[in-house]
Structure 1
C-alpha cells in the first residue's frame, strides 16, 4: 500500500483520483490544489507517490516536480495531463517524473502506472 499525495487544481479531479487510489488499496494522505502547496505538503507528509497535474495556477506541475526533486531526489511522481500537453509531459519527465497518465483517468491505466513506478 502506497501513501499518495494528489495534486490537481480541479477538486473533482482530485476526488476522482482519490477514489481510484483508494479502490486500488492505497491511502491518500494529502491533497494539493497547486504545485506550491504540493511541494510544501511533500516535505511534511513524505508520501510514497505524488500524482501531479501539469497545468495549475501559482506553480505548474513541471516547476513542482523540480522543486520536490531538489528536496528529495528519490521522489516518485506521476504526471496527470490532458491531451495535447505532450511537450510539458516531456519536460516533466526530464525534470524527474516517472510516468504519466492522460485524462480522463481509467482505473486500469492508473493501476498500470502505479505498478510501473512503485
Structure 2
C-alpha cells in the first residue's frame, strides 16, 4: 500500500483527498495545513508520495517542495492547485513536482496521476 502525505490549507480539501485515496488503496499517513508543517511531516513520515497545494499561508507549496527535495532528492510530489496558470505549472515542475493536478478534479484523474508517478 502506497503511503501518502496530503498537504492543503483547506481542511475540507484534505478530507476529500484523504477519502479518495483511502478508498482507492492508498494509505494517508499524514496531513499538513501549510508548507512548514509539510516539510516537518515529510521528514518524520517519509511517505511514498506527497500531494501539495501551491497557495498556502506562511510557506507556499513550491517553497515546501524545494525544501523536501533538498532533504530527499528522490521525493515524489504532485502539486494540486486551483492555480492552473502555465507559469505556476512550469515553476512546480522546475521545483521537482512529478505532475500537476488542477482543482476541481475528478477522483479518477487523481488516482490515475498518483499511480503513474509511483511507477
Q: Is 1:53–1:61's contact at 8 Å kept on the other side of the alignment?
A: yes
Query: 1:82-113 CA deviation, whole Å, 9 max, x = no partner?
Result: 04433222101101000011111211101110
Aligned residues: 118
Provide the residue aligned with 1:112 in structure 2. 112
Distance 1:86 1:5 in 2: 25
Q: Is 1:62–1:88's contact at 8 Å kept on the other side of the alignment?
A: no
Distance 2:110 2:95 in 1: 21
Q: What SS does the corresponding residue of 2:50 show, helix, strand or coil?
A: strand
Provide the residue aligned with 1:90 in structure 2. 90
Q: Structure 1 residues 100-109 or 71-80, which shifts more? A: 100-109
Distance 1:9 1:44 in 2: 19
Query: 1:21-80 CA deviation, whole Å, 9 max, x = no partner?
Result: 001111000000011100000000000000000000010011011000000000000000
Q: Residues 46, 22 of structure 1: CA spacing in aligned structure 2 closer, same or farther, 3 A cutoff?
A: same
Provide the residue aligned with 2:8 in structure 1. 8
Provide the residue aligned with 1:99 in structure 2. 99
Provide the residue aligned with 1:31 in structure 2. 31
Question: Which sections of structure 2, spanning at least 5 residues, go unmatched?
Answer: none
- Note the aligned Cα RMSD (angstroms): 1.0
- The TM-score, its normalising length taken from structure 1, stands at 0.96
Q: What SS does the corresponding residue of 1:57 show, helix, strand or coil?
A: coil
Question: Which sections of structure 1, spanning at least 5 residues, go unmatched?
Answer: none
Q: What SS does the corresponding residue of 1:50 show, helix, strand or coil?
A: strand
Say yes or no: does 1:68 pair with 2:87: no
